[in-house]
Each structure stands twice: as C-alpha cells, then as structure tokens.
C-alpha cells in the first residue's frame, strides 16, 4: 500500500514538474499552442511521425505577418521561435553578444569529441577557436585543396562512363564522392570508396550517419532537446566505433605526415601549422582530442550535408531539363582546355551559383537555427523581455517556404536569386546560417558540390528513370533531410552518344 502511494506521489510530482512551465508564454503574452504533458508541442516529433522543422512550419504558417514570434514547448522547456526578418537580424547579428551560443548540450565525459567541435563550443573558447580555424577556410586555402578534389572527380568520371545509359542510385554515388573528397582533404588518405563499394571508411560513414535508424535519430534528438536522456543512457553524439575508426585514421596520417615532412595542403597540414603557432597562454590549445574533433566535423558535415545536397541538386536537374541544359551550356563554356575547371571558374559561374542557392533553399539540410540568451534581453519593438537562458529557434524550413519571400516555394526556380534580388533575402536565406556563428565550411561545401555537379553535367544528361520517385518523399523519422527510400535513382546518358 505504502509503495502504491509512493508511486502515485512520484507520478503526481512528475506531472507537476512537466506542466509547471506551461503558463510561461501566456504570462508573457506570446502566441503559443496548447502543449501536452511530457511532450509539449512535439508529440509527433517524439514518436517519429513528423520532423521538428515541419512541426514548427505548421505553427508558423497559421500566423500572419504581424506576429514577430511565437512560443513552443519542447517537452516542458519553453523556446521562443523568431518569425520576423528584423528580429532574426537582431538575434543573429545586431545583438549577437546577447546570443553568442547555440543551446547545444555538451558532456565531456559522455562524448569528449562532440564537446570540442566548434559547433558546440561557447563564449571565449568558441571565439578563440573560431579565430584560429577561420584561416583554414580562406579562398587561398581552398584553392590549394582543389587539386585534391580533382583527383576524386577523375574517378567519378570513370564511374559515370562505366555506367553510361544506366539508371543508378545518385545518392549512393554522391555519398561515395563526398566521402572520398573529405577523406582526401581532411584525413589525407585515398579512401577509394567510389571504386571499392566495400571500402572500410564508407562503411563507417554509413554507420555514423545512419539518419533513418532509431539509434542515431534518438541520439541527435536527445542531444538537442532532452539532455537528461544523454546523461541517463550515456548516449554519445557520434557513434563510438566509427568515430574511433576515423580518429585512428586521422592520427595515423598526421603522425606519418610529420615523420615524412611532406606537405599536401590539406586539413592535417593546416591543423598541424595551427598547433605549431600556439603560445603558452592560449585559451584553446589543439590537443589530440581537439584536432580529431575538427576532422570529425569535416567528415560529418561533408559526408552528410554536401552529399545529400549534391544528390538533390542532381534530382532537380533531372526533373527540370531546361535548367539542366542552361547550366550545362555555362559549364561547357567555362571548361579549361584539359576539360577541368579552375577555382575562379567554379566560383565565377553565375547560373551554377543560382542553381546551388535554390537547391539549398528548397532543401535546407538543417531545418532550424538555434541560439540561447546569454543575458536578459528586451525586444524593443514589442517590449517582450526574455530571461537569460531562454532558448531561441529560427525556423529555417518555414522561412524558406514562406510565399512572402519565395513565391511558389515548391517550384525549383534559380531565377529568384538573380542579380540584386538576393539583397531583399538577407536574413531569410539561411542555408548556411547567418552572423558570426555562420557555417565555417560554406566555401569548402560549395566548392565540392559545385565541382561534383559540374563534372556530372559536362558530359552526361540526367533524366528520371523507371525507379525515380516523383515527387520525392522524405522520411519523417530523421533529423536532417533524408529521402524516404534512402535512394535517388536517375538515368545517366553521355551527351554525344
Ligand atoms: C551543404 C553543406 C553544409 C550545410 C548546408 C551547412 C549548414 C550549416 C548551418 C545551417 C550551420 C549553423 C549556422 C548558424 O547557426 O548560424 C552550420 C554550422 C557549422 N558548419 Fe556547416 N554546413 C555544411 C557543410 C559544412 C562543412 C563541409 C563543414 C566543414 C568544416 C561545416 C562546418 C560547420 C561548423 C564548424 C559549424 C559551426 C560554426 C560555429 O559555430 O562557429 N559545415 N553549417
């Protein structure tokens, strides 16, 4: 009997704990939708029936333009979702010193690597490491990495030639291309996954990035929204076996590089140079864990983000043959005598840039940006005061599909970015984020995606085949954008055959 009373009392206490914050947005006079105990507004996300970005979009779409923000509860934690362009600018740029960090949980003991990537570092440690890592991504450094990427595109061309006239899984091919690019540029090795389907590094990458799998989705969800689960179940952000494999590869290459004293101008060289420049009282020193953590970021973001976007770009080319034709004409006009593309041509092609921007708009790899208030803050225009620690979300997916900024948003239309139209889209085109915490790898990502796309299109026509899904459906269970079937089949045909 006593046990029963105890359990009942615990349940009541748990219930009170779960609903105690639910008056938060009402008291602040901020629009919100009635939350459910335990799950808040995101029951469907928790049971993997909806992606967080779409859940936010559903609320966003109900509100008119006069509403600058709304409140949601993720479990029982209140989050402020910013809707107005002006307020986005304030949070990401103008008042950055109030919002310098993401509400990204870290736990050195459970996952020391995740705690040391730039994405999760905070305040002064983030600032110092960002300043140190920024020179790694300058156009000069990227230019030096281009020859490494070209070695991989040569192999890609061989594969395309061998599959001429066939229907192939472009997603799988893009993943292999991206894994080989990253392995060469960040780990200094020839992974060879394009030529060898059983390559160990590709296997590890699949394991690490298994977006549809419950384990991976649960890990990402817990790290972003329910850190208590991370602590209880000791869930690493990055799957242990594959991250350890990549760290070993990185360490081995790095040591070999030092002993042979050769330069490849890749991430290993650049991080080794940063280490040599360190001074006694640096707040952020590149020890083994921190060096590996940066290499792992490259791998994660590159193998997942760039490969997904490249395959979606190719899909759009197949279903929009006119756009494909215009792009091919531009690419062919810009080829060097040996059939390759210089860094200047890659970044100088206007239509290629418009196509890339539109793919990134239509398929935002991350559906929302996250920040939290480091100090109390008042939105002057409305008088809303938020306390230190308030979590902020910027619903990128909803904004990228807002008719006000992007008429007919489901249409793939590169022209919406032509000329000075981009000026009006500042703060509402957020594919790589905005402000000082913007994606540091943007240039690298664009270079590998543009090069991959150009190498496909210069010789091959891409079209829907019998196995192509139109429209393409995406899984509701993954955190990032992932095709429902896990594949994107397209037909490739040599242009002059
Ligand atoms: C298509 C590919 C990619 C997309 C769409 C993408 C997008 C993003 C977005 C939206 C953010 C958050 C920005 C914000 O909060 O304002 C971000 C942050 C970041 N990205 Fe990327 N990214 C891509 C590829 C890469 C690559 C290849 C790297 C490799 C180094 C990278 C490294 C990072 C890092 C380190 C951060 C955190 C920056 C900081 O907090 O200072 N990303 N990325």
Model confidence band, residue 352 (pLDDT cutoffs 50, 70, 90): very high
Query: 301 alpha carbon to ligand 1 midpoint, in Å?
Result: 7
- Three-state SS at 460: strand
Query: 298 alpha carbon to ligand 1 midpoint, in Å?
Result: 9
| Residue scoring higher pLDDT (424 or 354) | 354
Phi first, then psi: what are they for 369, rounded to 5°?
Answer: -100, 155
- Three-state SS at 394: strand
Instruction: For 156-169, write each residue's pLDDT tens digit.
Output: 999 999 999 999 99
257, 268 Cβ separation under 8 angstroms: yes
Query: 297 alpha carbon to ligand 1 midpoint, in Å?
Result: 9
Structure tokens belonging to residue 212: 């549809």
Specify the ligand 1 atom closest to the Cα of 182. Answer: 27
Flag whether 439 is marked binding: yes
**Cα-based torsion angle of the residue sequence 347, 352, 353, 357 in order, rounded to the nearest 10 degrees:** -140
By alpha-carbon position, which residue is closest to atom 42 of ligand 1? 441
In this structure, what DSSP letter does residue 374 have?
S
Do the strands 391-394 and 77-82 form a parallel or antiparallel pair, or are they unpaired? parallel
**Average confidence (pLDDT) over 46-63:** 92
pLDDT cut 70: percent of the chain above it: 98
Query: 151 alpha carbon to ligand 1 midpoint, in Å?
Result: 25
Instruction: For 212-247, write each residue's pLDDT tens digit.
Output: 667 777 787 787 777 888 888 888 877 778 778 878
How far is residue 148's CA from residue 438's CA, in Å, rounded to a whole number?
Answer: 25
Specify the ligand 1 atom closest to the Cα of 371. Answer: 15
Instruction: For 116-175, write each residue's pLDDT tens digit.
Output: 889 989 999 999 999 989 988 899 989 989 999 999 999 999 999 999 999 999 999 999
Which residue from 398, 434, 404, 433 is spatially nearest to 416, judged by alpha carbons?
404
Residue 69, strand partner residues: 82
By alpha-carbon position, which residue is closest to atom 26 of ligand 1? 441
For residue 267, pLDDT over 90 is answered with no
**Average confidence (pLDDT) over 280-301:** 81
Most confident stretch, 249-258, 263-272, 342-351? 342-351
How far is residue 115's CA from residue 293's CA, in Å, rounded to a whole number?
Answer: 9
By alpha-carbon position, which residue is closest to atom 14 of ligand 1? 433
For residue 497, pLDDT over 60 is answered with no
**Average confidence (pLDDT) over 49-76:** 94
For residue 374, pLDDT over 80 is answered with yes
Q: Of the ranges 120-124, 211-215, 268-272, 295-299, which one carries the lowest mean pLDDT score?
A: 211-215
Q: SS3 sequence, 291-326? A: HHHHHHHHHHHHHHHHHHHHHHHHHHHHHCHHHHHH
Which residue from 195, 160, 165 is spatially nearest to 180, judged by alpha carbons?
195
Model confidence band, residue 253 (pLDDT cutoffs 50, 70, 90): confident
Which of 101, 367, 396, 439 to probe ligand 1 with, by most ligand atoms within 8 A of CB? 439
Specify the ligand 1 atom closest to the Cα of 309. Answer: 1
**Average confidence (pLDDT) over 77-98:** 97
Which residue from 208, 411, 222 is spatially nearest to 316, judged by alpha carbons?
411
By alpha-carbon position, which residue is closest to atom 20 of ligand 1? 439
pTM over 0.90: yes
Model confidence band, residue 190 (pLDDT cutoffs 50, 70, 90): confident
**Average confidence (pLDDT) over 407-417:** 97
Q: Of the ranges 30-39, 57-66, 396-405, 459-468, which one carries the lowest mean pLDDT score?
A: 30-39
Query: 279 alpha carbon to ligand 1 midpoint, in Å?
Result: 28
For residue 28, pLDDT over 60 is answered with yes
Structure tokens belonging to residue 345: 């041509």
Q: What is the per-residue pLDDT for 211?
A: 62
Q: Tell me, what's the ipTM?
A: 0.99
Specify the ligand 1 atom closest to the Cα of 365. Answer: 5
Contacts of 154 (CB under 8 A, 6+ apart): none
Instruction: For 413-464, write each residue's pLDDT tens digit.
Output: 999 999 888 888 999 999 999 999 999 999 999 999 999 999 999 999 999 9
Model confidence band, residue 272 (pLDDT cutoffs 50, 70, 90): confident
**For the residues of 21-85, what is the DSSP string, one character each?**
TTTHHHHTT--B-PPBTTTBT-HHHHTTSS-HHHHHHHHHHHS-TT--EEEEEETTEEEEEE--H
Structure tokens belonging to residue 225: 């929204």
170, 488 Cβ separation under 8 angstroms: yes
Handedness of CA 350, 356, 357, 362 (dihedral sign): positive
Pocket of ligand 1 (CB under 6 A): 118-119, 130, 297-298, 301-302, 305-306, 309, 365-366, 369, 431-434, 437-441, 444-445
- Three-state SS at 409: coil
Model confidence band, residue 262 (pLDDT cutoffs 50, 70, 90): confident
């Amino acid at each position: 009997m006593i046990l029963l009373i105890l359990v009942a009392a615990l349940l009541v206490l748990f219930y009170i704990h779960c609903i105690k914050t639910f008056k938060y947005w009402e008291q602040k006079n901020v629009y919100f939708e009635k939350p459910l105990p335990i799950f808040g507004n995101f029951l469907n996300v928790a049971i993997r029936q909806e992606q967080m970005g779409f859940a936010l979009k559903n609320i966003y779409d109900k509100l008119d333009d006069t509403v600058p923000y709304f409140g949601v509860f993720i479990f029982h934690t209140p989050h402020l979702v910013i809707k107005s362009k002006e307020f986005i600018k304030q949070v990401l740029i103008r008042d950055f010193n109030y919002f310098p960090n993401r509400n990204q949980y870290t736990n050195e003991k459970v996952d020391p690597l995740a705690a040391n990537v730039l994405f999760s570092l905070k305040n002064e440690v983030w600032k110092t490491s960002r300043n140190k890592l920024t020179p790694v991504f300058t156009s000069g450094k990227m230019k030096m990495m281009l020859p490494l990427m070209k070695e991989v595109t040569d192999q890609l061309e061989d594969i395309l030639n061998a599959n001429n006239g066939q229907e192939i899984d472009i997603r799988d091919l893009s993943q292999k291309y991206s894994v080989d690019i990253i392995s060469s540029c960040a780990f200094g090795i020839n992974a060879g996954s394009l030529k060898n389907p059983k390559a160990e590094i590709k296997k590890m990458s699949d394991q690490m990035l298994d977006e549809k799998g419950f384990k991976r989705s649960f890990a990402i969800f817990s790290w972003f929204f329910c850190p208590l689960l991370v602590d209880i179940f000791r869930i690493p952000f990055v799957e242990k076996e594959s991250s350890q494999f990549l760290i070993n590869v990185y360490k081995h290459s790095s040591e070999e590089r030092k002993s042979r004293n050769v330069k490849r101008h890749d991430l290993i060289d650049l991080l080794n140079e940063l280490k040599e420049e360190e001074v006694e009282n640096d707040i952020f020193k590149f020890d083994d864990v921190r060096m590996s953590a940066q290499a792992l970021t490259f791998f994660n973001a590159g193998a997942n983000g760039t490969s997904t976007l490249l395959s979606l770009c190719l899909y759009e080319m197949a279903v929009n043959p006119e756009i494909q034709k215009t792009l091919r004409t531009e690419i062919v006009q810009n080829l060097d005598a040996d059939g390759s593309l210089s860094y200047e041509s890659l970044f100088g092609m206007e239509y290629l840039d418009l196509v890339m921007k539109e793919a990134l708009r239509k398929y935002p790899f991350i559906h929302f940006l996250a920040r939290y208030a480091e100090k109390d803050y008042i939105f002057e225009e409305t008088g809303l005061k938020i306390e230190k620690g308030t979590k902020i979300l910027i619903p990128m997916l909803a904004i990228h599909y807002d008719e006000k900024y992007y008429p007919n948003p489901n249409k793939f239309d590169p022209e919406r970015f032509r000329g000075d139209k981009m000026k009006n889209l500042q703060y509402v085109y957020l594919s790589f984020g905005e402000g000082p915490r913007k994606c540091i790898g943007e240039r690298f990502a664009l270079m590998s995606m543009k090069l991959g796309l150009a190498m496909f299109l210069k010789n091959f026509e891409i079209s829907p085949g019998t196995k192509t899904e139109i429209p393409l459906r995406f899984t509701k269970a993954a955190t990032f954008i992932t095709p429902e079937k896990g594949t994107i089949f397209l037909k490739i045909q040599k242009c002059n055959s």
